[in-house]
């Protein structure tokens, strides 16, 4: 029993996939533990925060559980998982759009009916411990990602947050390598502009 617990902490994705195929439900639990927060980030980058992102993530795990025998290993499990998520997210966004609701709530909670800030951005501390500044910066970047156009946001999250290889990011999103590079450059540049604007107001 103890050995199984220790093993689950060190098993790579391939081993967990093999265990899941063999009917080991603890392998599925470990994969969910390992990837759930990351899937939610990518879902939020596509459909916005809230119940739709949660639903997309749950649908993704259901698809993995039902379809694990169809995973052929041509790409990494991580890339396969994110591809499933992106397909589910796009379908959910189209459903929301057809229902007459916005397909994304990205950034909407930040502004009032007149387009002004609902709550002003948090000011930056002048003198903070490096780790505190790094934590604040990470939080602000996560929040500011919501202000990027969808394609830029997806490329930045998959590349810089989830560290998916560039060629796999392009394949997942149906982009040429050149388009992927342009979107990544523009997304990073926009984030730098937004951060600089916030810092200049402090």
Contact 85, 162 (CB under 8 A): no
User: What average pLDDT is seen over the chain?
Assistant: 77
Per-residue pLDDT averaged across 56-78, rounded? 89
* pLDDT at position 9: 45
Name the band, by pLDDT with cuts 50, 70 and 90, for residue 145: confident
Which residue in this structure is represented by tokens 């029993």? Answer: 1
Contact 107, 49 (CB under 8 A): no
* pLDDT at position 111: 53
- Identical fold at 2-98 and 108-201? no
Bridge partners of residue 111, in order along the sequence:
117
User: Regarding predicted confidence, which is higher, 113 or 198?
Assistant: 198
CATH code of domain 2-98: 1.10.1740.10
pLDDT cut 90: percent of the chain above it: 15
CATH code of domain 108-201: 1.10.10.10
* pLDDT at position 3: 44
Q: pLDDT tens-digit profile of 7-27?
A: 444 568 999 999 999 988 889
pLDDT cut 70: percent of the chain above it: 71
For the chain, what are the domain ranges?
2-98, 108-201
Count the helix, strand and coil residues of the chain and give each as a percent rounded to the nearest 5.
75, 0, 25
- Give dist(CA 75, CA 86) in Å, integer: 15
- Give dist(CA 170, CA 177) in Å, integer: 6
């Amino acid at each position: 029993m103890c050995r199984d617990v220790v093993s689950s902490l060190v098993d790579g994705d391939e081993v967990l996939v093999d265990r899941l195929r063999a009917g080991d439900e603890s392998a599925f639990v470990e994969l969910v533990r390992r990837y759930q927060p990351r899937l939610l980030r990518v879902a939020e980058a596509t459909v916005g925060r809230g119940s739709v992102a949660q639903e997309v993530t749950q649908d993704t795990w259901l698809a993995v559980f039902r379809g694990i025998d169809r995973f052929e290993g041509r790409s990494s499990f991580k890339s396969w998982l994110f591809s499933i998520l992106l397909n589910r997210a796009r379908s959910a966004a189209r459903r929301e759009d057809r229902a007459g609701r916005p397909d994304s709530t990205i950034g909407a909670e930040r502004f009032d009916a007149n387009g002004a800030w609902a709550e002003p951005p948090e000011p930056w501390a002048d003198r903070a411990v490096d780790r505190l500044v790094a934590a604040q910066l990470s939080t602000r970047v996560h929040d500011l990602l919501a202000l990027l156009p969808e394609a830029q946001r997806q490329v930045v999250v998959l590349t810089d947050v989830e560290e998916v290889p560039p060629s796999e990011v392009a394949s997942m999103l149906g982009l040429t390598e050149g388009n992927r590079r342009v979107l990544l450059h523009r997304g990073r540049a926009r984030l730098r502009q937004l951060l600089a604007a916030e810092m200049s107001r402090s």
